[in-house]
Structure 1
Amino acid sequence: MWATSVAAIVAAGFVAGCGGGERQDANEPSGTFKVKVLKASFPPHQRLANSAVMRVVVRNDSGKTIPNVAVTITSDDDAKGGAGFTTRSTSPDLADPTRQLWIVDQGPHGGDTAYVSTWALGPLAAGRTQSFEWHVTPVVAGTHLLRWHVAAGLNGKAVARTANGQDPAGIFRVRVASKPPAVTVDPKTGDIVNAS
């Protein structure tokens, strides 16, 4: 399923970027690159309007440089086209059915790409580590699934695999509470001294 989802996202990005000239994947090396996901974290319990941080830390365990290490995020309804930190409404009267689940306040620095919900941080030398970090704010209460997938390039010619040959991918299940956090303010300074 991951391969299908990622291929669809990459194909959509490729079509959107077409305008003649050289193919975007013309210079991407072909090959399989071994990676290890050292950390994949996202708080499983969150509250509306309270910021959270998602992290995916990847190490290049192959003996060659990964052309362009990347991470793609898809939502719990990716079969319906939800991408990144969004979902898609089934209401037929909406001009744009995309609805945010989280607002991305800051994505991986320098990682923006022309591809939908994919961030890339460039070449990763053998043995080196790269950290992807998203600062987000949840805006829809409920239980949501976010899927993450690590790639070795943006166009499918460079493939990332774990040591046992698996796709480097995973799922975050997050419960977003609608109740606002309890906040205690110091009456003398106005500083927040407790938020839970």
Structure 2
Amino acid sequence: MSAVPCAAALMLGAAGCGGGGDRQDANEPSGTYKVTVVRASFPKRQRLADDAVMKITVHNADSKTIPNVAVTVTNDDGDRGGAGFTTRSSDTTLADPTRQLWIVDKGPHGGDTAYVSTWALGALPAGQSRTFEWHVTPVVAGTHTLRWHVAAGLNGKAIARTRDGQDAAGTFKVSVSQKAPAVTVDPKTGDVVSADSASS
């Protein structure tokens, strides 16, 4: 599990785990770093085309700075699974087997990496916390399982562990309803408003 970002990239053909040029992880120090996942939230029930927010807050519980705190997201959708908010179709006639489960409208600010479904927010000093936040829109109804894993770097040299020595990882099981939210247009502002937010 410690090399999740690199393994995911190799599996899905992303750049970053070898090859020519300077590596993104070339100067990553080796070591194990203690972390606490302060918050991990994603709505268990969602609806097609409705906004959802996933948040993971990581606290550096160590006495040393984490080189590059990162989160990798995978899923268990179907037999083949997939990377992050997508899955892979078994239909061999498709030119691109990638299938969106959620559209990522906005990922963690400044967190994009060359690795598939991995976001990194840089060095995290001892005693400080950082929050990864994704704004997404579900586009496939059904039950989906997302798995997340915290790393202290991008290639497995810097490993994140909880205080009891376990992987800093977790699972979100989400049920997406086929019923899309009813929407109206606010005549005063022109904003699109969901029925749920209008009644709250």
TM-score under structure 2 length normalisation: 0.87
Partner Cα separation in structure 2 for residue 182 and residue 78 of structure 1: 29
Confirm or deny that 1:153 pairs with 2:153.
Answer: yes
- Equivalent pair of 1:82/1:88 in contact (CA under 8 Å): yes
Partner Cα separation in structure 2 for residue 62 and residue 78 of structure 1: 38
Alignment-mate amino acid for residue 195 of structure 1: D
Partner Cα separation in structure 2 for residue 155 and residue 120 of structure 1: 12
TM-superposition CA deviations, 1:105-156 (whole Å, max 9, x none)? 0000000000000000000000000000000000000000000000000011
In the alignment, which residue of structure 1 is the partner of 2:75?
75
* Identity score, percent: 69
In the alignment, which residue of structure 2 is the partner of 1:9?
8
- Equivalent pair of 1:65/1:126 in contact (CA under 8 Å): yes
Deviation at 1:5, TM superposition (A): 5.2
Deviation at 1:173, TM superposition (A): 0.4
In the alignment, which residue of structure 1 is the partner of 2:196?
195
- Equivalent pair of 2:147/2:172 in contact (CA under 8 Å): yes
Alignment-mate amino acid for residue 16 of structure 1: A
Which one is further off, 35-44 or 177-186? 177-186
Partner Cα separation in structure 2 for residue 22 and residue 184 of structure 1: 51
Partner Cα separation in structure 1 for residue 60 and residue 111 of structure 2: 18
Deviation at 1:80, TM superposition (A): 2.2
Deviation at 1:190, TM superposition (A): 7.0
Contiguous gaps of at least 5 residues in structure 1: none
Report the CA distance shift for 1:67/1:78 in structure 2 as closer, same or farther (over 3 A): farther
Taking the TM superposition and a 5 Å limit, the aligned residue runs for 1:18-167 are 18-77=18-77, 80=80, 82-167=82-167
Contiguous gaps of at least 5 residues in structure 2: none
TM-score under structure 1 length normalisation: 0.88
